[in-house]
Amino acid sequence: MEKIKTGKADSIKRMKLYRYPERVYNEISAAGYGKDALLKEKDIRLFDQYHYLGTDVVEDAINFLEAGLQSRLIEIGSGLGGPARYLAEKAGCRVTAVELQPDLNQIASSLTKRCGLSGLVEHFCGDILEFPEDGGNFDAAVSWLAILHIPDRQALLKKCFNILKPAGKVFFEDYCKLGEFSPEEEKILREDVQCPYLPTTEEYKRQLIENGFTDVKLEDKTACWSDFVRGRVEKFIENRLCYAKLHGNEVADGMEDFYKKISQLFHKGNLGGVRITAVKPDAYLKRRR
Ligand SMILES: C[S@@+](CC[C@H](N)C(=O)[O-])C[C@H]1O[C@@H](n2cnc3c(N)ncnc32)[C@H](O)[C@@H]1O
């Protein structure tokens, strides 16, 4: 699909999580699959999800959205394409996976092809804010830990509203602000997490309502995400030698630093996690109410 040029893809590369995305290929090889071997979606589930708690939460999205063979979904910030492939494999739905960074998008596309899912998952490289609006084609917009990179919430939510069909739904998981960040926390968020702005849950809700959404529901995920990120650091440190052997010391240093900073942020208590669901009203039903 068409590629959109954007400078945002350069600045987001400062985040260590995104510096060496090719490491997924090392992981796939270490799991015993040859360089160009055909794969099944489930073979790479452990390596291709950049959000928290893996495919269980993608399953939650399938259930909430009642996604099936007829559904057309868009994923905002699709990374290596893991959630999009899971949605297609499990629900049989079509997914447009929108990813800002060309190298991630390229890897995502190659993995989708190797998994035999190119007929259902279409990869689109570019900024979601520039995604063409041709009249509301999608049944749902989903996103995991990508919106935190997009400070212009007004433009983003307007875009979501316009690309959804009437009665279309959103299912997002994202960071939120629980308390006032210290200057040090703000710096980590801005530089290491490429997250220049975070609303509180109440602000999130208001922004969705102001942009026309109804049935806005927010579910606090802070406790389980705090546990997850702490466990991730502990596991990383335990396996650090193997990790460095597989990917090299520089990659290992970068990932350790990134995982520790995220864990610190959660445990200071000002960063939270939230699942957000909402619906674009159906004009016909609205008139009848
Ligand atoms: C933490 S990753 C999550 C990837 C994927 N959702 C997953 O869970 O595996 C967030 C992704 O959002 C992408 N992203 C950030 N801003 C974006 C934008 N404006 N448009 C499209 N993608 C964006 C980033 O490049 C990154 O790959």
**What are the residue boundaries of the structural domains of the chain, listed by start?**
8-288
Task: Identify the burial level of 101 via C-beta atoms within 10 angstroms of its C-beta, where 0-12 means exposed, 13-18 middle and 19 or more buried.
Answer: buried
Q: What is the mean pLDDT of residues 18-37?
A: 95
Pocket perturbation via mutation, ligand 1, pick of 3, 145, 259 by most ligand atoms within 8 A of CB:
145
| Ligand 1 atom 19: residue of nearest CA | 127
Q: Per residue in 224-247, pLDDT tens?
A: 999 999 999 999 999 999 999 999
End-to-end CA distance of the chain: 41
**Would you state the structure tokens that stand for residue 208, as one six-digit string?**
């969705």
CATH architecture of 8-288: 3-Layer(aba) Sandwich (3.40)
pTM for the whole structure: 0.95
Greatest pairwise CA separation for the chain in angstroms: 64
| Ligand 1 atom 22: residue of nearest CA | 77
With contact defined as beta carbons under 8 Å apart, do 210 and 34 qualify?
A: no
Q: What is the mean pLDDT of residues 193-201?
A: 97
63 to 41, 90, 195: CA distances (angstroms)? 19, 11, 29
Q: Quick count: other Cβ atoms within 10 Å of Cβ 214?
A: 12
Q: Residue 1: is its pLDDT beyond 70?
A: no
Q: Per residue in 124-156, pLDDT tens?
A: 999 999 999 977 799 999 999 999 999 999 999
Q: Per residue in 69-125, pLDDT tens?
A: 999 999 999 999 999 999 999 999 999 999 999 999 999 999 999 999 999 999 999
Mean pLDDT of the chain: 95
The percent of residues above 90 in pLDDT, for the chain, comes to: 91
